[in-house]
Amino acid sequence: MRVSLLLLWVSSVLFGGITLPENFQATFSQKITNTKKSVISYGGEVRFSNETLFKWSYKTPTQKEVCTNSSELMVVDHDLEQVSVYLIDKGIDITKILQNAKPKTATVYVAEYENKHYTIQIDAQKRLQGIAYYDDLDNKVQIVFSDIRYGKGSLPANVMRCDYPIEYDKIEG
């Protein structure tokens, strides 16, 4: 699984015509295609709250949770009964990406940030529908959101935490 820090990007601002809420909940499908055209697909639920908190709950093909608070990233792999914790030394500044986003069509925006190209898909109400980009390993990453629920205020802390049984192995990196 490739964890993308790009997904630290929900805030209560309006940039480039794209409306981003204070909180966001949706189902997602994520497809990663490597340079040899091998594809792996993921699916699950995602929650964003304020500018820094996100939680990805992967349901397929394996059960994983990915949580961050912008300084630490936690990956809980329920199949392996393992927790990995990483300090984030370089995140992606979504504010700058969105400030640079230019409309390509009524529902597609493009942006450049740190020599990477991002394509952002929105709906008619200018709500986020998907994003595509190439990661640092030249993998094509496509994320599509559905069943989207935008909200105001922060989500409760308990729904943003990655909880796991105490007996899981913990790796800190």
CATH of the domain at 52: 2.50.20.10
Q: Is residue 170 part of a domain?
A: no
In a domain, 173, yes or no: no
Residue 109 counted as domain residue: yes
What secondary structure letter does DSSP report for 20? -
Domain assignment of residue 169, yes or no: no
Domain ranges, residue 117: 5-164
Query: Which tens digits make up the pLDDT trace of 23-51?
Result: 889 999 999 999 999 999 999 999 988 76
Low-confidence ranges of the chain (pLDDT < 50): 1-15
Q: How many domains does the chain have?
A: 1
Inside any domain, residue 113: yes
Give the pLDDT confidence score for residue 52 in this predicted structure.
Answer: 74
Q: Is residue 13 part of a domain?
A: yes
Is 82 within 8 Å of 66 (Cβ atoms)? no
Q: How far apart are CA 151 and CA 20, in angstroms?
A: 10
